[in-house]
Chains A and B, each alone.
Chain A
Amino acid sequence: MTYTRLWAHLFAMCLRREPLSSWLLIGLLTLNAVVFAGIGLALKSTVDAIVAGDAGSAVIWACTTAGAYALDQSINAVAYPIRAHITEKVGHFEIEPAIMRASAKLPEIDHLEHQEYLDRITAVRGKSWAVVGTVWSVVEAGSTVVRLALTLVILGNVSAWLLVMLLCIAVQIWLDRRGQSGQKRAELDLARHDRTQRHLFQLGVSGKAGKEIRTAEVGPNLIDRLTAASERVRTIRARGQLVSASWSVAGWMVFALGYTAVIGLVAVRVRDGQATAGDVMMAATIGALLREVVEKAVWTTADATGSVRVLEPYLWLKEYVEGRGADTAETPAPRRLNDGITLDALTFSYQGTCGAAIEDVSVHLPAGSVVAVVGEYGSGKSTLVKMLAKLHRPRSGRVLIDGTDLQDIDTESWRTAMSAAFQDFGRYQTTFAEAVGIGDLEHGTADARRAAVSAADAEVLLSRLPDGESTQLGSEFGGVDLSEGQWQKVALARSCMRPEPLLFVLDEPTASLDAPSENAVFESYTARAKSIAAATGAVTVIVSHRFSTVAGADLILVMKQGRLVESGSHGELLDAGGLYAELYRIHADSYVDNPLV
């Protein structure tokens, strides 16, 4: 899709959503071009009438000039808020939701690991008004062209020589745009310093980082670095702007020369009796106004080029989402698991990385079992459970749910049939009731919440909240700030909202909890896992790097560098004397004086 087509699409969107305002704005912009030409003509006639000594028409033309001036001013005053109105409304009701959906409604999450995608979403999210604004910049550019054309027709009427101005303007716009490129380069160069500067400022004013900054007494060091980075941003930008300003001045020099020549020409013709004093007045006035028009034209072209900054990412996202194709899987998720979940030569790698995150993993997770996945950092544990949740599409191999390929199962229905608590859970800045309740938007009753809170051992937490369930959580909007462990309990409670999931994933769920809390959580989870397993044959998958957590699982999967290196029960793995046994021993040694086994 080219920009022209995109503009047409956006323009149609404006006309559909805000027909009245859009047509009004188009009308105003057209009128403005005519009024502008009118100012020149009326002034000329005024001066000519005065010179001719015709008081009647001099007054009439003077009044017309005054009217044209006042009208010009008012049109601008009216057009500005109308334009803002259209761009905001269309932006917030059409574009922004589309951008949000582009990110949130994609079934997988690969895109969020993808730097190219992230850059674009940052560039465009929250700037939907700018996307719509580009269309109106184009329309305004059109209006400017009409102004220029009319002006030139009028001037050309005095003498065709005056059309030389057109050439000057073209040269000028070209010079100006050359200058712009230097500025753009500067912006790219300074981006990293600008990020540093912002980052250090944020650290400086945050309480969290403040503890450490104070203890180390490095506040002054931090401010020095902040100032140095800001100064670098400033210098680079100033240099870039100076370059573009110089080109710009050179451009204006061409324009000014042409313009002076034009007026001189008219003046000569006046002396020769081929033109009137009014023509000089008109050329002079229009010339001065032309300066504004040309400046606006220069600015608009720069703006239209600059608008690529928001349009390019918007277009990219649009095509990215369309390129992913619609989710065609239609098989609904089963109501219960009979056989279990089978991984068949499952392989996955993240975009832009060379090694596979998961390679050739084949294993059967029997229905009704508790499965633990252990391994060191970066061994592919979390990726494996994300594949089970259909959050990544396998590069090769399959995940089979009771024999049906997960890729053929309707994503939404599979997600509804599972629940999960992840290591990097959300900290929703809303009420406690909602932060828990969104774990089951469809059937989240107060009773279900109570049960979930109890399953997550979060009752004490709830009892301490000043307004109970309706307490606002998080400091963002002035709520109660929770500790890491407390947020984790909220996330756990949320994951317990769905009553009978087929798959229950716990990704390092207790990293920030103390021993008894951790224990209590596991107690209730095991109980829950068993009761769910009895009802639906559910599989519970626990990811952990703590061995105390996993010893009792029915099946333990040991991951190393993306491969499944061992699997079996705790006893089997200890007997096997492999990686699991080695890591387990390190852990166990830390608790007892003589090594186990």
Chain B
Amino acid sequence: MLHRVRAVLRHRLKFLAHLRSCDAGTVAAVIALGLARVLLPAAGAAVTGWLLSSLDGDFTRPLLFLGAILLVGQAIDIGSRWAEFLAVSRINLVHRAEVARLATEVATVDLVERDEVQDLLKTAAADPTEWVEKTPGEGAIGALNVLLGYVGLLATAAVVAAWSPWLLPGLILPALLVRHLTIGLWKRHYLIWVEGIEHHRRHQYWGALTASRAEAKELRIFGLADWIIDRRQREMRAHLEPVWADDGAIVRAQWKPFLITLLPLIAVFAAIASVTVDQNGSIGLASAALAASWGVFNAASGVGPMIEMEGSRPGIDALAELRRLLADDRPNRPEQPERLDAGTAEPPLVRLEGVRFGYGRHREVLQGLDLEIRPGEHLAIVGFNGAGKSTLIKLLAGAYRPTGGRITCDGQDIDASGDWRSRLAVVFQDFVRYRLTIAENIMLGRLGTGERDTVAEAAAEAGLGGLLATLPQGLDTSLDRSLEDGADLSGGQWQQLALARALYALKRGAKILILDEPTAHLDVRSEKQLFDRLDGLTEGVTTVLVSHRLSTVRRADRIVLIEEGTVKEQGTHDELMERDGEYARMYRIQAKRLESGFDDRIEEGELI
């Protein structure tokens, strides 16, 4: 018995522990107001009894008490809801920040991208969209209220005991039994709902497609509306039909709690009435006992806090699981964030030695790649779709770890080097679009806060000058387009912003600029302008450019062609053209189509 109590307590503690996120004042207020709230029904019953016994004499005091209980009772109710909001929102804030911190602190993205980790992150997000999902904050307060509920039960029981303690077992046991039954029914219902969560996700997905901008055109051209709606309805039924069947079961099962409430209550009420008449007892005590007997059942019946506790469990467990999974892969975080601005150091020599990499159980993308990136050179990487160009960039950026071989920077493994990342400025193909201000977007190119002038310079160099001139708030324009004063950038402008972010990192001391398809969203004129501009900005910096538009890589000091995960050819544009290999063939395909038009075919068989 003791063992079981301890287990229950430990279990409750898991939820209650979250209260530590709040300051002492809030917790004290929540507990004090909660206690007062649960004690009020008992006090009400007692004071009503007192009033009835004083009817013959001066009843001013009990009357005022009764009024005060009512007023204070409601004020406490409202106040405790407010205090609970403060606690819940604080706990959730801390919880969410912790989840995001865990996810961003892991050294490699590899781990974060894994399906099981993504699932856990989704569960731990504490952002409920469904009634079954509760936040850790709600769970903590729920756990507290479950405990307080027992206090309320004891208090009403005490009022009954004032009439006769013998009534207590006859009230408390059935009340707890009703509670147990009700919780059981809801738990089952909850589990049935959760069981179909996969169908739920799917029906949400198909439902959202009907109003999605990207799919809207295809939806109409291919006449998919009914097909998609039908899909959504099928998934919805697969999810909810068992739940609806259980609704009926819950209703039918209510006869049990009804009888378990009714029979003891009848017995107790009849006993109080007949004994009071027989013994000519106090009407005050009797009335208090009647009201309090009912209070016992009422105190036990609230299952809301229990549901909140149970509903928050998946999120809390998911965070614990994430801590366990992600703990092993923490990077050596920069000790002093202000160590940045590496100053005038020269760009390092980077070597990839026999680098291998594959995503999960899929085929290896890189199969023993050797490559040297020399200080200050302008290197271009080209290759077919899926040849491993973008993967190579991700490995260089340290977002993934090679599964074989190593990458070194001035002879030291980049994994062991504490400041490798501070030397990089990367524009990824799928760069981030922060819905913050333009200045914040640029400053997120490097840890810490930088000079505003530096930000403005980077913006100008990336070609954003024209755009900024048209925006009344300039660099402080928000890019949240749902705001009235927010700006809506085009794909090309976002790309320039991503570039500004990288240029900002260069100004803050980065020495290697990596550009993965930096002009994919730009038209020819902007593309040309961009490369002209970059020429002047990359003095004394190593640049690595990935592109499948070969016209853009011609100016590079060295071009590397990657095929089947290894370096197939390398040299300057002229050398490679002279060699007449794969690069020359690709280049000619693109140039030739331009020169002589759409109809000029390449001979059958020339293409893979």
A242 and B223 within 8 A (CB): no
Task: State in angstroms the CA–CA spacing of A169 and B603 once bound together.
Answer: 89
A214 and B436 within 8 A (CB): no
> Which residues of chain A are near B28, meaning CB under 8 Å?
none
> Which residues of chain A are near B66, meaning CB under 8 Å?
260, 263, 284
Residue B287 lies at the interface, judged by CB distance under 8 Å to chain A: yes
Chain B positions 272-308 with a Cβ under 8 Å from a chain A Cβ: 272-274, 276-278, 280, 283, 286-287, 290-291, 294, 297-298, 301
B219 and A441 within 8 A (CB): no
A73 and B426 within 8 A (CB): no
Q: Closest chain A residue to B573 by CB distance? A: A593
CB 8 Å contact bits of A467-492 with B (1 = contact, 0 = none): 00000000111100001111000010
A441 and B224 within 8 A (CB): yes
Residue A318 lies at the interface, judged by CB distance under 8 Å to chain B: no
CB 8 Å contact bits of A407-420 with B (1 = contact, 0 = none): 00000100110111
> Which residues of chain A are near B607, meaning CB under 8 Å?
516, 519-520
> Which residues of chain A are near B435, meaning CB under 8 Å?
195-196, 199
Task: State in angstroms the CA–CA spacing of A69 and B266 once bound together.
Answer: 10
> Which residues of chain A are near B201, meaning CB under 8 Å?
476-477
A271 and B55 within 8 A (CB): yes
Residue B431 lies at the interface, judged by CB distance under 8 Å to chain A: yes
> Which residues of chain A are near B108, meaning CB under 8 Å?
214
> Which residues of chain A are near B244, meaning CB under 8 Å?
85, 88-89
Task: State in angstroms the CA–CA spacing of A96 and B230 once bound together.
Answer: 12
Task: State in angstroms the CA–CA spacing of A222 and B422 once bound together.
Answer: 17
> Which residues of chain A are near B113, meaning CB under 8 Å?
207, 210
Task: State in angstroms the CA–CA spacing of A103 and B219 once bound together.
Answer: 11
Contact of A260 with B444 at beta-carbon distance under 8 Å, contacts A53-B280, A81-B251, A207-B112 already known: no
Task: State in angstroms the CA–CA spacing of A427 and B215 once bound together.
Answer: 8
B218 and A425 within 8 A (CB): yes
> Which residues of chain B are near A105, meaning CB under 8 Å?
225
Residue B316 lies at the interface, judged by CB distance under 8 Å to chain A: no
B593 and A519 within 8 A (CB): yes
Task: State in angstroms the CA–CA spacing of A568 and B178 once bound together.
Answer: 84
A551 and B115 within 8 A (CB): no
Of A58, A70, A546, the contact of B265 (CB 8 Å cutoff): A70
Residue B132 lies at the interface, judged by CB distance under 8 Å to chain A: no
Residue A177 lies at the interface, judged by CB distance under 8 Å to chain B: no
Stretch at the interface among A44-52, A141-149, A155-163, A447-455: A44-52
> Which residues of chain B are near A378, meaning CB under 8 Å?
490
Residue A426 lies at the interface, judged by CB distance under 8 Å to chain B: yes
Task: State in angstroms the CA–CA spacing of A245 and B75 once bound together.
Answer: 9
B397 and A215 within 8 A (CB): yes
Residue B150 lies at the interface, judged by CB distance under 8 Å to chain A: no
CB 8 Å contact bits of B589-608 with A (1 = contact, 0 = none): 11101111111111000011
Residue B257 lies at the interface, judged by CB distance under 8 Å to chain A: yes
Chain B positions 180-208 with a Cβ under 8 Å from a chain A Cβ: 182, 198, 201-202, 204-205, 207-208
Residue A104 lies at the interface, judged by CB distance under 8 Å to chain B: yes
Residue A182 lies at the interface, judged by CB distance under 8 Å to chain B: no
> Which residues of chain A are near B176, meaning CB under 8 Å?
none
Interface of B is mostly: helix
Residue B52 lies at the interface, judged by CB distance under 8 Å to chain A: yes
A549 and B598 within 8 A (CB): yes
> Which residues of chain B are near A422, meaning CB under 8 Å?
217-218
> Which residues of chain B are near A126, meaning CB under 8 Å?
129, 204, 207-208
Of A103, A211, A259, the contact of B428 (CB 8 Å cutoff): A211
Of B424, B525, B590, the contact of A586 (CB 8 Å cutoff): B525
A196 and B384 within 8 A (CB): no
> Which residues of chain A are near B44, meaning CB under 8 Å?
288
> Which residues of chain B are near A222, meaning CB under 8 Å?
100, 104, 444
* A-side interface size class: 35 or more
Task: State in angstroms the CA–CA spacing of A570 and B597 once bound together.
Answer: 8
> Which residues of chain B are near A483, meaning CB under 8 Å?
385-386, 390
Contact of A201 with B125 at beta-carbon distance under 8 Å, contacts A51-B283, A260-B64 already known: yes
Of B104, B251, B492, the contact of A377 (CB 8 Å cutoff): B492
Residue A364 lies at the interface, judged by CB distance under 8 Å to chain B: no
A210 and B216 within 8 A (CB): no
Residue B233 lies at the interface, judged by CB distance under 8 Å to chain A: yes
Residue A328 lies at the interface, judged by CB distance under 8 Å to chain B: no
> Which residues of chain A are near B505, meaning CB under 8 Å?
216
- Most chain A CB atoms below 10 A, which of B244, B251, B301, B334: B251
A252 and B75 within 8 A (CB): yes
CB 8 Å contact bits of A216-244 with B (1 = contact, 0 = none): 11111111011100110110011001100
Chain A positions 261-285 with a Cβ under 8 Å from a chain B Cβ: 263-264, 267, 270-271, 277, 280-281, 284-285
Task: State in angstroms the CA–CA spacing of A516 and B74 once bound together.
Answer: 75
Task: State in angstroms the CA–CA spacing of A419 and B244 once bound together.
Answer: 42
B384 and A295 within 8 A (CB): no
> Which residues of chain A are near B447, meaning CB under 8 Å?
216-218, 220-221
Residue A16 lies at the interface, judged by CB distance under 8 Å to chain B: no
- Closest CB in chain A relative to B29 CB, distance in Å: 13
Residue A14 lies at the interface, judged by CB distance under 8 Å to chain B: no
Stretch at the interface among A5-13, A303-311, A332-340, A506-514: A506-514
Chain A positions 554-578 with a Cβ under 8 Å from a chain B Cβ: 570
- Closest CB in chain B relative to A26 CB, distance in Å: 15
Task: State in angstroms the CA–CA spacing of A570 and B248 once bound together.
Answer: 72
> Which residues of chain B are near A43, meaning CB under 8 Å?
290
> Which residues of chain A are near B334, meaning CB under 8 Å?
217
Stretch at the interface among B9-17, B367-375, B464-472, B544-552: B544-552
Of B301, B525, B590, the contact of A583 (CB 8 Å cutoff): B525
CB 8 Å contact bits of B477-495 with A (1 = contact, 0 = none): 0001011000000111000
- Closest CB in chain B relative to A304 CB, distance in Å: 20
Of B70, B211, B390, the contact of A291 (CB 8 Å cutoff): B70
> Which residues of chain B are near A205, meaning CB under 8 Å?
99-100, 103, 112, 118, 121, 125
Stretch at the interface among B82-90, B140-148, B451-459: B82-90
Residue B579 lies at the interface, judged by CB distance under 8 Å to chain A: no
B97 and A109 within 8 A (CB): no
- Closest CB in chain A relative to B197 CB, distance in Å: 12
Of B96, B482, B599, the contact of A195 (CB 8 Å cutoff): B482
Task: State in angstroms the CA–CA spacing of A421 and B443 once bound together.
Answer: 37
Chain B positions 418-452 with a Cβ under 8 Å from a chain A Cβ: 421-422, 424, 426, 428-432, 434-436, 440, 443-448
CB 8 Å contact bits of A150-189 with B (1 = contact, 0 = none): 0000000000000000000000000000000000000000
- Most chain B CB atoms below 10 A, which of A49, A113, A223, A547: A223
CB 8 Å contact bits of B235-249 with A (1 = contact, 0 = none): 010001001100110
- Closest CB in chain B relative to A296 CB, distance in Å: 13
Contact of A100 with B229 at beta-carbon distance under 8 Å, contacts A59-B273, A548-B590 already known: yes
Q: Closest chain B residue to A54 by CB distance? A: B277
> Which residues of chain B are near A260, meaning CB under 8 Å?
63-64, 66-67, 70
Residue B24 lies at the interface, judged by CB distance under 8 Å to chain A: no
Q: Closest chain A residue to B449 by CB distance? A: A221
Residue A535 lies at the interface, judged by CB distance under 8 Å to chain B: no
Residue B398 lies at the interface, judged by CB distance under 8 Å to chain A: yes
- Closest CB in chain A relative to B136 CB, distance in Å: 14
B551 and A591 within 8 A (CB): yes
Residue A329 lies at the interface, judged by CB distance under 8 Å to chain B: no
B436 and A523 within 8 A (CB): no
Residue A330 lies at the interface, judged by CB distance under 8 Å to chain B: no
B490 and A285 within 8 A (CB): no
15 contacting pairs across A/B (C-beta < 8 A):
A43-B290, A66-B262, A69-B261, A70-B261, A115-B482, A204-B99, A211-B397, A218-B445, A227-B97, A295-B77, A464-B363, A475-B118, A483-B386, A486-B386, A591-B550
The 3 A-B pairs with the shortest beta carbon distances in the complex, nearest first, are A552-B598, A260-B67, A219-B104
- A256-B68, A583-B524, A590-B528 given; name 20 further pairs at CB < 8 Å: A58-B274, A62-B270, A74-B257, A81-B250, A109-B216, A115-B482, A125-B207, A196-B435, A210-B109, A211-B428, A218-B447, A238-B82, A257-B67, A285-B48, A291-B70, A295-B74, A483-B385, A513-B385, A586-B528, A591-B550
